[in-house]
Amino acid sequence: MGADKEYFNRVGAIVRAYDPAGIIDICPEDEYNSEINMIIKAAYQAANAHELAERIYGVFQSAFGSGQTTMGINEYLFMAREIMKAFVE
What is the SS3 assignment for 68?
coil
Determine what percent of the chain falls in helix, strand and coil, rounding each to the nearest 5: 75, 0, 25
pTM of the model: 0.88
**pLDDT above 70 (res 14):** yes
Distance CA 36, CA 59 (A): 9
pLDDT band at 11 (very low <50, low <70, confident <90, very high): very high
Q: In terms of residue numbers, what domain contains 23?
A: 3-88
User: Cβ distance 31 to 63 under 8 Å?
Assistant: no
Number of domains making up the chain: 1
Domain CATH number, residue 83: 1.10.340.20
- pLDDT of residue 60 exceeding 50: yes
Mean pLDDT of 46-69: 89
Mean pLDDT of the chain: 89
